[in-house]
Amino acid sequence: MRELELYYGPQHLGMVGNFSITLGVEGDRIVKATSNPGFLHRGFEKLMEQRTWIQNFPLVCRINVVEPDHMELMYAMAVEKLAGIEVPERAQYIRSIYLELARVSSHLFGLWAYANMLGFDTVANWAMYHRDLVLDLFEELTGGRAYHIYIWPGGVRRDFPEGFKDKIVNTLHTIGSCVPDYDDTFFNNRVFEKRAKGIGKLTQKEAVEMGAVGQVLRATGMKRDIRKQEPYAAYDQVEFNVPTREDGDAYSRIWVVRDEMIESVHMIFKLLDQMPEGVAYNKVPNPFKWKIPKNEAYVRCESSRGELGLYLVSNDTDKPYRAHYRTPSFNHGLTILEKALVNESVSDVGNIMISLYITAPEIDR
Amino acid sequence: MDRNKIGKWLKSPGKMAQKYSLHALYFCTGCGIIEIPPTITARWDAERFGVIPVATPRQANLFLITGYVSLKTLKYIIRSYEQMPEPKFTVGFGSCPINGGMYWDSYNTIKHLDKYIPIDGWIAGCMPRPEAVFVAVTHLWTLIDKGKADGYKKYREDYELYRENQESVLGKLEWPPLFSKEKQHEASV
Amino acid sequence: MNHLRQILKDNLLSSFEDIKINIAEENRIIIECRKESIITVLSHLKSDGFNHLSLISCVDWINENTFELVYILTAYTEDPEKGGLNLLVKTKVVRDKPTLYTVINVFSNAEPFERELHELYGIHFSGHPRLTPLLLERSYEIPPFRKDFDTRQYVEDFFKQIPTIEEKKRTNERT
């Protein structure tokens, strides 16, 4: 049979974010796949070298548009390490609650994308609606729906307003009471099982060799979570499980996403009970005249897609000298996707791509 | 139903059909991927305004450019725009297509999108709320009524100037020009 | 954690000469070596259990005329003590036509990192199967992430010179 070249390009109904794959196809079977990133490249790390330490905060949250909060956390933690600033305890608890809410909203976005791709429009609409309820909470706390510039070196920008704790509890109860509906309609559905079981399978050895992190690794059986290995914020004060599955295909990855969402909701309730009183931020030096001596720092955290890291270098000036983000979608989109697509059918390309949780702005930065 | 409007509708049923059924091309460039899905799903329903997403440019009427445009994306935007049948309208979302926005000193983003394809309206914000999209759609209705939403006509008249600008930023383009002087002369004769 | 770090340090100092180890913080160890011995140091650490290459990064020290390459390694393990360590392996290269050997034979996920560094800094990795452009649309005279590439000057020279359509029509009408 002849080999044809297909472009699964940036303008496509099943593409989430601008990303393009060139497929070599024989009939219905894929023989070769090459990914084409670069549609969203802005040269972030070069732009960060031309703005002062405080001016970088509105810029940093736009690296991954779906989940901006972990990017802010990385920059704030790195600057605190370079300059030696301490964070008060109440601020650590507030940061953990805020990050877990961000994880819930990001997983609901991923559920919208996946259900939309498979054709389950009802579940996609529910997931987007519940995500909008969580974004209402963010809007009351920080002032913006999409980009909240809330985590600051030295704590958070402002404390919780009055009555906010009850609002969080009510919203999470609304979402949590719909979980049996989600299970009946989507997760226990036989159609979903047939479309996702055995697709895009990775063994644990292959995943370790190709640099997989996050759900892609936890769906193959390894319990690796940075919140347990190198705890940051208030994660060492609260108990939680790390859900895993055994098979390593698209079905197990989506089930790991669902289990993580439920685990996050339980974690938020426990953190709200244990939160101490105190101040919400420590003062930073005058931002117009802030110089940091020559130093370097490497910090890591567990974002909703996997292990996120930042390497930051300072050189006794008022601007960063070099910043380099290590994003989880870089290896997933460029190394693993090209191998996982071989010998699959053309109609499963979107299925595999979204279940590997690839977000295009993270690859290009 | 407002009886004053019946006279207006009877005068131009074509315009009424165009206004209330804008099919938007599903192409989320840049940061728009977080604010377009809430606009088209259940909470802020865009279908009550007649706007639904479609898969291919051949069936689309409205082109929303949501967010910043890099050099690689500009090629695909031009190709998709040229494949859409006339009459077609474009709306620029966010502050980045207007004057570069937050990435004004980046080497890979386009600062003024108006130089490369014609734009009918702008929405300011970073990212604008879904309600801002609906206000923009109602403004577009008034423009269509008055006959001022004519970006596609300008593209047809000034095609060589647009193509010169596109080639000076992207290099030599691989596809032939869409409108040429001889064919336009034949069409009018 | 102390015990583990000390064992690692003694192990490395006894196996390699010309290597400097610095335990910077509780969970960060910096290892400096020459560019010829990068591959042996990385394979030694991989067989020791640190089998995840997180990042290959590059810092441009223009005053000293060198590029400093940083390879960051962590461990794929469920044990929290070993899993919390970050090893930074550093080496220096000359800034004029820099070349290095690729580490794909040791870590197969290093391929996109090296491709990106080749495009943005101009470093050549010999032995790499596919050093084609990854993110950029065109080629620039100076690779864009070097310190002597001024982005604001480039935007002035390139993007601002293109006139708008109304200006073009006005100049056409005048002539």
Give me the number of domains chain B comprises. 1
Provide the shortest C-alpha distance from residue A239 to chain B (in Å).
32
Tell me which chain C residues have a C-beta less than 8 angstroms from the C-beta of B70: 137
Identify the CATH number of the domain in which residue B183 sits. 3.40.50.12280
Give me the number of domains chain A comprises. 1
What range does the domain containing B184 cover? 20-188
Closest Cα partner for A61 from A79, A48, A49?
Answer: A48
* CATH 3.30.460.80 is held by the domain C2-140: yes
Q: Are C13 and C32 in contact (CB under 8 A)?
A: no
- DSSP H helix total and E strand total for chain C: 6, 7
Identify the CATH number of the domain in which residue A289 sits. 1.10.645.10
Q: Return the structure tokens found at C5.
A: 């770090």
Q: Which of residues 298-337 of A touch C (CB under 8 A)?
A: 298, 300, 307, 309, 311, 313, 321-322, 324, 326, 330-331, 334-335
- Does the beta-carbon distance from C151 to A43 stay under 8 Å? yes
Looking at chain A, how many residues does it have?
Answer: 365
- Delimit the domains of chain C by residue range: 2-140
What range does the domain containing A295 cover? 40-364
Q: Indicate whether B9 belongs to any domain.
A: no
Tell me which chain B residues have a C-beta less than 8 angstroms from the C-beta of A128: 37-38, 41-43
- Does the beta-carbon distance from A321 to C145 stay under 8 Å? no
- Which residue is associated with the tokens 């069409």? B187
Q: Indicate whether A161 belongs to any domain.
A: yes
The pLDDT, as a whole number, for residue A99 is 92
pLDDT in tens, chain A (365 residues): 788 998 888 888 777 788 889 999 998 899 999 988 888 898 888 999 999 888 888 899 888 888 899 999 999 999 998 888 889 999 999 999 999 999 999 999 999 999 988 888 899 999 999 999 999 999 999 888 888 889 888 888 888 888 899 999 999 999 989 999 999 999 998 999 998 888 888 888 888 888 888 889 999 988 888 888 888 888 888 888 899 998 888 999 999 999 999 999 999 999 999 888 888 888 887 877 888 888 889 999 999 998 999 999 998 888 899 999 999 989 898 989 988 899 889 888 888 988 888 888 888 88
Global pTM reads: 0.91
- Average pLDDT for residues B42-58, to the nearest whole number? 89
Tell me which chain C residues have a C-beta less than 8 angstroms from the C-beta of B151: none
Parallel, antiparallel or unpaired: strands B62-66 and C99-101: unpaired
Q: Indicate whether B90 belongs to any domain.
A: yes
Provide the shortest C-alpha distance from residue C141 to chain A (in Å).
16
* Burial track A309-341 (b if 16+ CB lie within 10 A, e otherwise): bbbbbbbeebbbbbbbbbbbbbbbbbbbbeebb
Q: Indicate whether B93 belongs to any domain.
A: yes
Tell me which chain B residues have a C-beta less than 8 angstroms from the C-beta of C158: 169
Chains that touch B (3 or more CB pairs under 8 A): A, C
Residue in C136, C165, C169 closest to B115 by CB: C165
Amino acid at A54: I
Q: Indicate whether A33 belongs to any domain.
A: no
Q: Indicate whether B3 belongs to any domain.
A: no
> CB-based contacts of A239: which residues, under 8 Å, 6+ apart?
A270
- Does the beta-carbon distance from A43 to B108 stay under 8 Å? yes
Tell me which chain C residues have a C-beta less than 8 angstroms from the C-beta of B104: 155
pLDDT reading at B9 higher than 80: no
Residue in B154, B158, B169 closest to C162 by CB: B169
Q: Which residue of B has its CA nearest to C154?
A: B107
Give the span between the Cα atoms of A166 and C149, in whole angstroms: 52
